[in-house]
Structure 1
């Protein structure tokens, strides 16, 4: 039997369709937040991934909760998202409501919901592609990479007043990609092995051809020209086809930061969103630096260091080339943001993150400590499920 032709390739003799246009940028209230969390569904027998997304979606449809709940690439994943939030506190309130609804449904199905950027011991070839046209297209195009994309991330949207401001915000945020990775890292185990990475999840993302970083441009007109050139090749149809670390989302009037591993708790997820918002406030109110193309000379190195070593990484300051512990730069950043955080009601969230940085504590460390003690990854996942339930559910 002939193999299926990959999607989006025009057969010989067919007239090519006109390239799609980039959606207009819809201005949004500056610094508003939206958070998406990709979550693991596991059985309560051996704590492996379980294909229960359809059942969860049916049960969730009967309940009241903010935001949205949708399927993801494989059927052992589910994605929840907040509505438009004005603070990290509101993000936490909405994620808490979503968590409680998820747990009610999971308990009825005798399964568990878990955070973390990877499932520690699932086998990629056991996963099922969720039956949705876009996911089927991606599976046909990317083959086994689609099932290996059973990884779990947090995405944070930040509202921007206009498209040029969005690009400026995007490239300023790019200097802090290592900070985001180290704070959220929660994927040390893959296929039953300790990868020696704090965030192994991002290695799966990097396998896709449209991953990496956005092109350096500070004008929306120039970005539209880049998008037009990309769509003329037939490789790109929409912004969804770019798996960049940060990408514009013109239909929402935001930039979307995509490098966070899903944390083990919604509390940490909300704190990370608060950190992003405080950074954005600093950028808008103080205009602390103007990004340059040369910033990206150290981008890949800094990103790798944070994925590999987490809070113990080396950070190269883009403007000066100075090498320093990422932990030191993170602490200085968090302390410098204190006035903006206080104004946003995010002071406690950033203080929590700073305490963790001082102690070298992230979720990857927590997972490794549990595995060192238990010597059984299934028990680590069980304890992760208890941790996700919140303070009342944390018995381990």
Structure 2
């Protein structure tokens, strides 16, 4: 199979996908009711999309193509309201968060589609352990060469998105010590991690042909990279974010990526190189393990910085672009979170107050389903 031509898209357009937890309102464990919820939502209003994910206790929603923070947030709030109303009819709740706090992988059920059955047969228990929940953000690019340049330029900012979105401190009833434990499950897959260093679509096509000739890869869906090109959409797709606890945070993260892409495209502050990846895995680990309190190494200067400080400096650097893109509200929400703490901190705080884990999950679902009305404007 040959690599598809890269579809031309309007630069800097956005699309957001959120993988969401379906939770029983009886014990707040995961509930295998994706088929029931999809049936209830079959005739939903709006241009957004809802579809199954690999196990029956999760669904994925996707926005329409957006250009600005305000309309993106409005659409996310619309889908949140409709999903919440639909779930209440089934006596289930919906929540964000990168992992469920105490579900056991062995209890999960593969959603009955041909591709999900294939993944289950290929990867064994890893398929059920893939019951984790992420936010994916697509950014439009006009051609494949631009997409690959941007993909590699963004590599040094991947820890920003991991730390800002981190919401998966608990796994199977235990505090893992990680702010984002979800990415450890993703990293278990053999085709995860970083994309190969190629800066032209022709060069990437040759890599793709070599991979398909081995029989290891059949399509771009087989790559679980942190950022991957999506030629059929004309986008690059950032895949490292945990699903946040609110749609307001999800919209802010998407617009942070949009502003960063505009900054990189217009100012070209550096040229991406293969050596940028010398510190990539270390920086990624620091963001997963310590969140905003982690440290990162600058691939150019080799200096070590606090991740929180690096994000703050970057937000200041792109303020002009955020203003032009009408995304200052998104930037300010992220600035506030640098001092208030990420969602992993918020979940741990509920636990520190003495709540049992089912009550922590209940709190998280109420936060997602009943998000403050000020976020709807």
Structure 2 gap segments, 5+ residues each: none
The residue aligned with 1:380 is: 360
Give SS of 2:60's match. strand
Give the Cα–Cα distance (whole angstroms) in 1 for the partners of residues 368 and 318 of structure 2. Answer: 28
Structure 1 residue matching 2:79: 3-state secondary structure: helix
- Distance in 1 (CA, whole Å) between partners of 2:257 and 2:152 is 13
Structure 2 residue 237 is matched with structure 1 residue 256: yes
State yes or no: 1:152 paired with 2:142.
no
Instruction: Give the Cα–Cα distance (whole angstroms) in 2 for the partners of residues 102 and 87 of structure 1.
Output: 23
Aligned to 1:316: 297
Which of 43, 48, 66 pairs up with 1:67?
48
Aligned to 1:189: 170
Instruction: Give the C-alpha shift of residue 65 in structure 1.
Output: 2.3
Match of 2:113 in 1: 132
Deviation at 1:392, TM superposition (A): 5.2
2:219 to 225, 238, 256: 238
SS class of match (2:12): coil
Residue 182 of structure 2: aligned partner: 201
Retained in 2: the 8 A contact 1:65–1:101?
A: no
Q: Which protein has the larger Cα radius of gyration, Structure 1 or Structure 2?
A: 1
Q: CA separation in 2, counterparts of 1:327 and 1:368?
A: 19
Which string of whole-angstrom CA distances, capped at 9 and with x for unpartnered residues, describes residues 161-216 of structure 1?
11100000100111100000000000000000000000000000000000010000
Task: Give the counterpart of 2:22 among 16, 41, 53.
Answer: 41
Taking the aligned partners of 1:374 and 1:325, their CA distance within structure 2 comes to 31
- Write out aligned runs for 1:107-146 (5 A): 107-146=88-127
Task: Give 2:154's aligned residue.
Answer: 173
1:14: which partner in 2?
none
| Equivalent runs, 1:223-302 vs 2, <5 Å | 223-302=204-283
**1:329 pairs with 2:302:** no
1:344 aligns with 2:325: yes
Q: Confirm whether residue 368 of structure 1 aligns to residue 337 of structure 2.
A: no
Structure-2-length-normalised TM-score: 0.98
Deviations 1:284-326 (A, max 9, x none): 1111111000000000000000000000001101111100101
1:10 corresponding residue in structure 2: none
**Which residue pairs with 1:7 in the alignment?**
none
- How many Å apart are 1:66 and its aligned residue? 2.2
Q: Secondary structure at the match of 1:209?
A: coil
Contact 1:386/1:393, CA 8 A, preserved across alignment: no
Aligned to 1:5: none
Partner of residue 161, structure 1:
142
SS in 2 for 1:374: coil
Aligned-residue offset at 1:131: 0.1
Secondary structure of 1:78's partner?
strand
- Contact map agreement 1:66 1:98 (CA 8 A) in 2: no
Distance 2:68 2:164 in 1: 19
Helix, strand or coil: the match of 1:47?
coil
**1:375: Cα distance to partner?**
3.4
Aligned length: 374
Match of 1:16 in 2: none
- The alpha-carbon deviation at position 393 of structure 1 amounts to 11
Are the equivalent residues in 2 in contact too, given 1:41–1:76 (CA < 8 A)? yes
Q: For residues 86 and 374 of structure 1, what CA distance do their matches in structure 2 show?
A: 42
Q: In 1, distance between residues paired with 2:92 and 2:293?
A: 35
Query: What is the match of residue 81 of structure 2?
Result: 100
* Counterpart check, 1:57 vs 2:35: no
The farther-off stretch of 86-95 and 30-39 is: 86-95
Structure 1 position 88, deviation (Å) = 2.2
Report whether the alignment pairs 1:28 with 2:29: no
Q: Report deviation, 1:87.
A: 1.4
Q: How much is the aligned-residue C-alpha RMSD, in angstroms?
A: 1.1
1:307 aligns with: 288
- State how far apart, in whole Å, the 1-side matches of 2:43 and 2:21 are: 21
In the TM superposition, residue 225 of structure 1 has moved relative to its aligned partner by: 0.1
Q: Which residue of 2 aligns with 1:3?
A: none
Change in CA separation of 1:309 and 1:209 when aligned onto 2, cut-off 3 Å: same
